[in-house]
Amino acid sequence: MDRKPIDRARAEQLIRVISEAASKLFLQAGSIPMLMHFPAPHSDQVLVVPLPTTDGASKDLAAGFMRYALAEADAEWVVCVTEAWVLKVVTADAAQAIKDAADGGIADHPQREEILHLQMETTTLGCISAVREIHRDAAGKPSLGPLVIHDMDSYEGRFIGLLPNKGRAS
């Protein structure tokens, strides 16, 4: 992979390549740590940095480290790969279900789903999200659904805005 400018087609190509590699690792191990992928400085190589995160403090430290590393690398893009839970609520009482989940988390919510989440941030396109649903058999062995790529309409969190702002619109 080289340092070509990032357009939508290139972004989706990178997401697919990174998804394939992360998916293989996930299926072999049954889980993965958070992985950050970004271009190495002055090279056509991609660096992959595992970030062990267990609590809010370690996540804050990891986000600060990544902001520093991305600035030093003069990175134009970064892809974060992580396992996550999402809440898919399709009931008339969706607002209440979301509030309940926000109050108590979704670890034990009956409508939570497990996903492999890829979040790409670029200096030209903003954020793009990609998801592969995780399905587990009775023994807990995982399989993955197809990759679904979509634009992120709104986003917030400690791993958003990792790239240095070079005058682009936020």
Q: How far apart are CA 128 and CA 111, in angstroms?
A: 24
Q: For 44-84, what is each residue's pLDDT tens digit?
A: 788 888 888 888 888 899 999 999 999 998 899 999 999 98
Assess if residue 164 is contained within a domain.
no
Assess if residue 94 is contained within a domain.
yes
Q: For a pLDDT cut of 70, what percent of the chain falls above it?
A: 86
Nearest 5°: the CA angle 125, 58, 126 is 5
Q: How far apart are CA 170 and CA 165, in angstroms?
A: 8
Assess if residue 161 is contained within a domain.
no
Cβ–Cβ < 8 Å for 44, 1: yes
Assess if residue 129 is contained within a domain.
yes
Counting Cβ atoms within 10 Å, is residue 36 exposed (0-12), middle (13-18) or buried (19+)?
Answer: buried
Q: For 126-151, what is each residue's pLDDT tens digit?
A: 899 999 999 999 998 999 999 999 98
Domain that holds residue 69: 8-151
